[in-house]
Chains A and B, each alone.
Chain A
C-alpha cells in the first residue's frame, strides 16, 4: 500500500480550497528533512506539478515543502517521529497519515482542536 502524509494549514475547514491549504504527499516522494531555523523543520518532497509551491516559494516543478514549527532542541525527536510515521502500520485501511491539521473551525462552524503528529510541533505551513 502506498502511504501518504496529510497536512492542512487553514483555520476553517470551509477555506480548505487550494494547494497552500492542504496537501497529501506520497511518503515515497519525501526527499529529505532539514532545519532552516532553530524552531523550523522543512519537509521536502518531489513534485512535477508546476502549480505546487517549490523550494524557493516559486511555482516551478521541482520540490515542494511543508514547514513545521517545532520546539527548540527537539528537532531530532520530530525527525524521528516523521520516520516512524512513514513506517507506521496503522494506516492499513486508507494509507493516509494525518500529520498536521490546523483547522479549529469545522465545516458547519463548530469548534475543533488542532492536531499535530508530534507534541513538539505547533504549526505547519505549506509554502
Chain B
C-alpha cells in the first residue's frame, strides 16, 4: 500500500489553546501530507522556512501561492537542521504521523486523567537544531493563475430572438483573463432547418438580449473567425463542423469578468428550432481559473 507521511507542526504552548487563533496566518497547529512539501530555505539568521502547496485554494481570492512553516534553528546550523528535517519527512513511522516541531509544553486533559490538565510536557522537534516553531501561515490562496482550457456542451433554447441568449456556460472567468482561443461546435443539430449561433463574452451574466461582444461568429470585428460565419446548427448542418476564433487577437478582459453566452443570430421565435440542439464551447485563456456560475449542484 502507498504510504503517506503527514507532517505535524504546533506552535501553541498550551494544548488547550490549539485552534484559538483561528486558521488564517497563524493557526495553533497544522498538518500537511509530505507530498505537499516543496522546498525550504533560510529566511533569516536562525530561521528556516518550509514551503508547502496551499492547503486551501479558492480561485475567488488572491492569497500567497504557498503555505509556510517557519522554524527557529540554531544560528549556523541551518544545513544540519535541513538534513534532519529531510530525514523526518522521509522517515517510516507505522502510522505515517510525523511530529516535525511541537512547541506545546502544557497538557490539557479531563478531570482525573493522567497526565493532568496543565501538567508540564516536553516540546518535541525533529532536529536538535530546531528550537521552536516561529510561524505557521495557512493562506487562503488562489491557485488559478496560469493557462486554462475549458469545454462544455450547452443545451440551446429553441425559440430565441436575434441577438438573444440561447444558452450560457455554467462557469465564468474572474477579472484579468486573456482569452487566447475559442471555438464552437455543433454536437447535436436542431430537428428542423432553423438555427444560427455565435459566441459572445460579457462582463455580466445575460439572459434574454445579449449585451456581450462577439468573439466567434460572422459579426466579429475584422471578420476574423474561421470560417467567417455563424455556427449552423440547423438540420442541414454538419455535426462537428466548428467555427473558431481564427486570427482574432487575444481578448484582454482587464478588470471585467468574462461570462460566455451562445447567442442567436437569426430570429428563431416565429419558427423555433425543434429537437434538442447542443453546442460544444471550447475556451483557452491565461489568467485566473474558472468559477462556477450556477452554484452547488
A residues at B contact (CB < 8 Å):
1, 3, 18-20, 27-28, 30-42, 44, 46, 50-51, 53-56, 58-63, 65, 72-76, 79-80, 82-84, 86-87, 89, 92
Q: B58 to A56, Cβ gap below 8 A?
A: yes
B111 proximal to A (CB < 8 A):
no
- Assembled-state Cα–Cα distance A42/B55 (Å): 10
B residues at A contact (CB < 8 Å):
1-6, 8, 10, 15-20, 22-23, 27-33, 35-36, 52-61, 67, 94-97, 102, 104, 107-109, 117, 138, 140, 143-144, 170-171, 289-292, 294-297
- Assembled-state Cα–Cα distance A44/B52 (Å): 14
A1/B20 contact (C-beta < 8 A), A19-B297, A32-B32, A83-B96 known = no
Q: A51 to B290, Cβ gap below 8 A?
A: no
A28/B4 contact (C-beta < 8 A), A36-B27, A54-B58 known = yes
Question: Which residues of A lie under 8 Å from residue B57 when comparing CB positions?
Answer: 31, 46, 54-55, 62-63
Q: B20 to A89, Cβ gap below 8 A?
A: no
**Contacts beyond the supplied A31-B32, A51-B294, A59-B292: 9 A-B pairs with Cβ under 8 Å:** A28-B35, A31-B36, A32-B55, A34-B30, A51-B292, A73-B108, A73-B109, A75-B28, A76-B10
Interchain Cβ contacts within 8 Å, total number? 175
> Within the complex, which residue of B4, B97, B171 is in contact with A80, where a contact is CB–CB below 8 Å?
B97
The 9 A-B pairs of least Cβ separation, nearest first, read A73-B108, A32-B55, A35-B19, A50-B292, A62-B57, A84-B95, A87-B96, A51-B297, A83-B97
Q: B58 to A55, Cβ gap below 8 A?
A: yes
Question: Which residues of A lie under 8 Å from residue B36 when comparing CB positions?
Answer: 31-32
> Within the complex, which residue of A60, A62, A73, A86 is in contact with B16, where a contact is CB–CB below 8 Å?
A73
Select the residue from A27, A33, A34, A65 with max chain B CB neighbours within 10 A.
Answer: A34
Q: B58 to A76, Cβ gap below 8 A?
A: no
Question: Which residues of B lie under 8 Å from residue A62 when comparing CB positions?
Answer: 56-59, 143-144, 289
A37/B3 contact (C-beta < 8 A), A32-B30, A56-B58, A60-B289 known = no
Question: Which residues of A lie under 8 Å from residue B53 when comparing CB positions?
Answer: 31
Chain A: minimal CB distance from B171 (Å): 6
A82/B31 contact (C-beta < 8 A), A44-B55, A56-B61, A60-B58 known = yes
Question: Which residues of B lie under 8 Å from residue A76 when comparing CB positions?
Answer: 8, 10, 15, 18, 29, 102, 104
A32/B60 contact (C-beta < 8 A), A76-B29, A79-B6, A84-B95 known = no
Q: A55 to B56, Cβ gap below 8 A?
A: yes
Q: B96 to A86, Cβ gap below 8 A?
A: yes
Listed by A's residue number, 21 A-B pairs whose Cβ atoms lie within 8 Å are A28-B33, A31-B57, A34-B29, A34-B138, A35-B18, A35-B23, A35-B27, A35-B28, A42-B23, A51-B297, A55-B140, A56-B61, A59-B291, A60-B292, A61-B289, A62-B144, A75-B28, A79-B97, A86-B4, A89-B1, A92-B1
